[in-house]
């Protein structure tokens, strides 16, 4: 009986520790758009080698945003959002060709945390992806 209680106690302790760890990320998109992150990019195909959502602080992180259709606008906006308080930490707009559908660049984070990267066209979110910096 003591052995069963000991095992039950260990399982309960493990479950409580796991509840405190939020290592899951979410993503969403509109119209088949995608936003992919990784540490390496094939610059000729704009494909991310080994996509990931977990990185270290100060790493240069490549991303590829594929809108799955022409942007239809000459401005593409990226927002970096702190997931904990939904505060926009940075908003940057880029000039793009209205006929283009893919944009690639780099992003980096100085501090550990959970962040959301949002891609917007004409103020409307087309794709977003959460990242964990640890």
* Mean pLDDT confidence for 119-124: 96
Domains and CATH numbers, the chain: 24-133 (2.60.40.1930)
Q: Bridge partners of 105?
A: 63
| 41 secondary structure, DSSP code | E
pLDDT tens sequence across 62-101 = 999 999 999 999 999 999 999 999 999 999 999 999 999 9
Q: What is the pTM of this model?
A: 0.81
pLDDT of residue 31: 87
Instruction: Supply φ then ψ for residue 25, to 5 degrees.
Output: -125, 155
Give which of 112, 108, 126 is closest to 23, Cα–Cα. 112
């Amino acid at each position: 009986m003591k052995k069963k209680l000991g095992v039950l106690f260990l399982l309960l302790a493990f479950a409580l520790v796991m509840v405190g760890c939020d290592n899951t990320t979410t993503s969403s998109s509109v119209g088949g758009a995608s936003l992919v992150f990784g540490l390496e990019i094939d610059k000729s195909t704009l494909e991310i080698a080994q996509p990931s959502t977990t990185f270290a602080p100060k790493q240069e992180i490549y991303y590829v945003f594929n809108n799955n259709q022409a942007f239809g606008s000459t401005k593409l906006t990226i927002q970096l959002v702190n997931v904990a308080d939904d505060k926009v930490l940075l908003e940057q707009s880029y000039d793009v060709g209205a006929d283009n559908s893919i944009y690639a660049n780099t992003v980096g984070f100085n501090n550990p945390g959970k962040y959301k990267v949002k891609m917007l066209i004409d103020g409307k979110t087309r794709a977003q992806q959460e990242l964990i910096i640890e």
